């Protein structure tokens, strides 16, 4: 084993993975797993909210997503998607608010596919002609997103939660913002954020650690040249209060809604964020799961359609809980949810329910080790927090009932709720839109 490689082992799970700090500066994680499919992702700690250049200039909205699209185009005119397809690999990429990820899965020719992944991500190529072509493609994607009522409902919720933070801006940007993107802006954003120490390579499957590292030796620079710390996010201070309600219209058969709850107590340390994320997973299961009293009460009374979704998002500078579903009267659903939570805050949660939901969260964590894709994507979250994947089990086990009760009391503040609704078009709405 190489001297710069650390092995992480779990006796409980019988699993292990390695972290190697490659000479280029790239952290490389290899998780051997004897499953049919191998999976690899190459990620950069750069997303849509990272919108500043070293000069202090704010980039146009949508640059991170635009870069994700353009990196698949190579200087020789080839397309890396086509190369992956010829290798029998299934490739993809995505941009989120805080990261960009390039990935593939395959059952054969893994090393050739990994070489392609390393090569195209580390060799940007932009020209005015190719940027102009991509502007047309992404503009069409933006129009499709704007026509999607679920997308509109979600971003209206974010706009209700955040007055200033760029998380409220669509990841793709707008047609006007992407029209301002140039090859020079793309190259400067790439030089700023696509630095190997600010990235991570994660491989999971029936693979050999040394073969992966040898391949990295051949396809990555010997060392990170002219490394500089990426620009840190600078955001204006957010008010604690939110905009209460946003209503718009779209192509839906029944009103859809997103309830947002803004978190303003954001832990500074990665360890504290992981603990809060685990605690919120348990609390959300207790409050909003299909097995809970709230969901069944709302459904039995006909207030919601089947399928109430809750998701908590936490980063170092924003955090929120989303509760989404379909209802004839979303405002009534919000009122019922708030009444239910206020009752729990006053009278307390059930300790036996806490133990049940903690076991559910623990079981979900264990189940994730059955999939190379799940392992790699979950490991990435811990990698960018510089935390141990296996340590999450101890976090879940160590959470106390009192911590969850305290979280319930401090998180659900009356002024933290916002409601976004998309209602069906009626004839008057249609005439206004058409006119």
SS3 57: coil
Q: What is the distance between the alpha carbons of residues 264 and 287, in angstroms, rounded to a whole number? A: 20
Q: Count CA atoms within 13 Å of residue 126 on its CB side.
A: 25
- Cβ-based neighbour number of residue 121 at 10 Å: 21
| Cα of 23 vs its chain's centroid, Å | 28
Whole-angstrom Cα distance, residue 219 to residue 215?
6
- Residue 395 CA: distances (Å) to CA of 88, 122, 218, 370, 389: 39, 36, 39, 21, 11
At residue 257, the 3 state secondary structure works out as strand
**What is the C-alpha to C-alpha distance for residues 361 and 367, in angstroms, rounded to an integer?**
10
C-beta pairs of 121-126 under 8 Å, 24+ apart in sequence: 121/42, 121/71, 121/194, 122/194, 122/196, 122/219, 122/220, 122/221, 123/74, 123/75, 124/67, 124/70, 124/71, 124/186, 124/187, 124/190, 124/194, 125/73, 125/74, 125/75, 126/70, 126/183, 126/186, 126/187
Look at residues 297, 306, 302 and name the one whose alpha carbon lies nearest to residue 325.
306
Instruction: Compute the distance between CA of residue 277 and CA of residue 275 in angstroms, rounded to an integer.
Output: 5
How crowded is residue 113: how many other Cβ atoms within 10 Å of its Cβ? Answer: 22
Terminal C-alpha separation, the chain: 69
Q: Which two tokens stand for residue 10?
A: 């779990």
CA-CA distance, 113 to 106, in Å (whole number)?
A: 8
82 is catalytic: no
Task: Return the number of other C-beta atoms located less than 10 Å from residue 199's C-beta.
Answer: 25
Catalytic residue, from 15, 57, 68, 355: name it.
Answer: 68
In 10 A of CB 71, how many CB atoms?
Answer: 22
CA distance 149 to 422: 7
Rounded Cα–Cα distance for residues 327 and 340 (Å):
17
Catalytic residue IDs: 68
């Amino acid at each position: 084993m190489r001297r710069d490689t650390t092995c992480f082992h779990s006796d409980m799970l019988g699993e292990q993975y390695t972290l190697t700090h490659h000479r280029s500066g790239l952290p490389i994680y290899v998780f051997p797993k004897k499953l049919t499919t191998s999976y690899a992702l190459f990620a950069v700690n750069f997303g849509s909210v990272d919108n500043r250049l070293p000069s202090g200039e704010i980039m146009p909205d949508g640059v991170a997503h635009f870069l994700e699209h353009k990196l698949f185009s190579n200087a020789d005119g080839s397309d890396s998607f086509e190369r992956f397809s010829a290798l029998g690999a299934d490739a993809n990429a995505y941009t989120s608010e805080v990261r960009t990820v390039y990935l593939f899965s395959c059952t054969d020719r893994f090393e050739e596919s990994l070489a392609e992944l390393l090569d195209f991500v580390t060799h940007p190529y932009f020209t005015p002609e190719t940027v102009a072509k991509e502007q047309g493609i992404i503009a069409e994607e933006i129009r499709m997103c704007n026509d999607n009522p679920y997308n509109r409902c979600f971003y209206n919720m974010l706009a209700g939660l955040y007055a200033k933070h760029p998380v409220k801006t669509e990841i793709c940007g707008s047609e006007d913002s992407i029209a301002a993107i140039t090859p020079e802006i793309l190259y400067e954003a790439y030089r700023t954020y696509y630095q190997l120490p600010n990235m991570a390579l994660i491989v999971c499957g029936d693979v050999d650690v040394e073969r992966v590292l040898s391949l990295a030796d051949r396809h990555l620079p010997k060392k990170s040249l002219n490394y500089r710390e990426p620009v840190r996010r600078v955001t204006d201070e957010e008010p604690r209060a939110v905009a209460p309600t946003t209503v718009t219209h779209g192509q839906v058969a029944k009103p859809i809604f997103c309830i947002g709850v803004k978190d303003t107590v954001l832990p500074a340390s990665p360890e504290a964020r992981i603990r809060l994320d685990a605690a919120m997973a348990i609390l959300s299961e207790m409050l909003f799961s299909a097995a809970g009293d709230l969901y069944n009460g709302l459904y039995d009374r006909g207030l919601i359609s089947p399928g109430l979704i809750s998701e908590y998002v936490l980063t170092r500078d924003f955090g929120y809980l989303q509760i989404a579903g379909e209802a004839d009267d979303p405002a009534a659903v919000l009122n019922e949810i708030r009444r239910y939570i206020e009752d729990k805050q006053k009278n307390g949660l059930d300790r036996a329910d806490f133990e049940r939901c903690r076991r559910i969260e623990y079981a979900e964590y264990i189940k994730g080790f059955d999939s190379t894709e799940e392992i790699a994507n979950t490991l990435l979250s811990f990698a960018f927090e510089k935390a141990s994947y296996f340590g999450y089990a101890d976090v879940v086990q160590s959470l106390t009932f009192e911590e969850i009760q305290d979280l319930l009391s401090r998180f659900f503040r009356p002024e933290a709720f916002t409601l976004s609704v998309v209602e069906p078009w009626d004839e008057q709405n249609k005439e206004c839109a058409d006119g």
